[in-house]
Amino acid sequence: MKKPVYLDYQATTPTDPRVVDYMVPFFYEKFGNPHSRSHVYGWNAEAEVEAARAKVAAVIGADPKEIVFTSGATESNNTAIKGIASFYKDQGNHIITVQTEHKCVLDTCRHLEQEGFDVTYLPVEANGLLDMEKFKSAITDKTILVSVMAANNEIGVLQPIAEIGAICREKGIKFHTDAAQAFGKIPLDVDAMNIDLLSISGHKVYGPQGIGALYVRRKPRVRLNALINGGGQERGMRSGTLPLALIAGFGKAAEIAQAEMAEEHTRLLKLREYMYEEITKRLPAIILNGDREQRLAGNLNLSFSYVEGESLMMAIKELAVSSGSACTSASLEPSYVLRALGVEDELAHSSIRFGLGRFTTKEDVDFAVNLLADKVQKLREMSPLWEMVQEGVDLKSVKWAAH
């Protein structure tokens, strides 16, 4: 077993060896600029790019012509939101998104607020899911864009994308979804779900970092103003020479994800449920953050009550995981996603995101469970809060001196 055990698949995934093998020739013997029209190096490169485009499109039921390659989901989200806002600003200035979106969506929306757009940041319920009634009542005749993520990066919850899409289509509002975490993990169909724009990341699906895509609907046509101007590649929506090897790898990763999605989902769901059951069997006072059912198979986000986040992270150094604790982030604020769920600060501080993926084994999970059971127990024995709770003290009734 390789230590630390990697349980951070929502941060990034290792590139699948089959993807790496597939990519290698495109760096040297099969190299070429896909935009070169005058020789075979260019033609072959272009053929590979188009093949990859078709593989990515197939995962979401799109036409290959609707796929625009970008540097990743952050660029895709920026392109979609700023591009739509700028193109359709004469039709309205209102955008709806959700408080638990990825920072790159929230920050893009804040940027647009400075340019005069009105943005509604919808709250979520305690399970992390959107209340459809609240969503519907947020729509105004000025609403031009709705951006709701398919799967959350911290708590893995799956928003009701199809329902949102149906409402947006009925009202003639453009619907964008950040599917960085969902692509290749859950079934997505842009037609059935009425999705107009969809962001994809390569490195979250065992492809290389630095490549992603934006799906932009052609029928009915969705238009946007480009962020990056230049040679007019990617139907003018994203200029710049396409990175051949990255795109080839991304295409291969998409092809594998589509072929193995169902099987992988079943295996990961079983593994995650096993992990959750084992941890809660051995440790009391564990809280699951986010809905248990409407959730990515490979995500488990737990709060370990009465222990502090940073000391917990120090105790489980042999696990590569992410924490909602302030101490591990630059902002000194606990996770805004957990706050949006109404999770108290002390529980947000002691939250750990376990991300399971393609190469996670039962042995890895057993190691993690044993380590957690041992270390959390030790930290609780050292915790005055745990001691007070054991003595029957209600911690909320204590007058703490804030410092």
Partner 1 sequence: MAYSTKVIDHYENPRNVGALDKNDPTVGTGLVGAPACGDVMKLQIKVNDDGVIEDAKFKTFGCGSAIASSSLATELLKGRTLDEATTIKNSDIAAELALPPVKIHCSVLAEDAIRAAIADYQAKKGLKASA
Q: By the criterion CB under 8 A, which residues form the site for partner 1? A: 306-311, 314, 325-327, 344-346, 349, 381-387, 395, 400-403
Residues 183/257, Cβ–Cβ less than 8 Å: yes
Distance from C-alpha of 333 to C-alpha of 335, rounded to nearest angstrom: 6
- Comparison of 272 and 349: residue with beta carbon closer to partner 1: 349
Distances (CA, A) of 188 to 18, 71, 161, 205, 329: 24, 21, 9, 14, 32
Q: Can you tell me whether residue 55 is helix, strand or coil?
A: helix
Least distance (Å) from partner 1 to the CB of residue 345?
A: 5
Least distance (Å) from partner 1 to the CB of residue 383?
A: 4
Least distance (Å) from partner 1 to the CB of residue 375?
A: 11
- Comparison of 131 and 345: residue with beta carbon closer to partner 1: 345
Q: Which of 11, 53, 66 is nearest to 255 (CA)?
A: 53
Q: Which of 73, 358, 34 is nearest to 210 (CA)?
A: 73
Q: Are strands 351-355 and 299-304 parallel, antiparallel or unpaired?
A: antiparallel
Least distance (Å) from partner 1 to the CB of residue 328?
A: 8
- Comparison of 152 and 325: residue with beta carbon closer to partner 1: 325
Least distance (Å) from partner 1 to the CB of residue 369?
A: 21
Q: Which of 262, 291, 11, 271 is nearest to 157 (CA)?
A: 291
- Comparison of 6 and 386: residue with beta carbon closer to partner 1: 386
- Comparison of 273 and 374: residue with beta carbon closer to partner 1: 374
Residues 99/123, Cβ–Cβ less than 8 Å: yes
Q: Catalytic residue positions?
A: 327
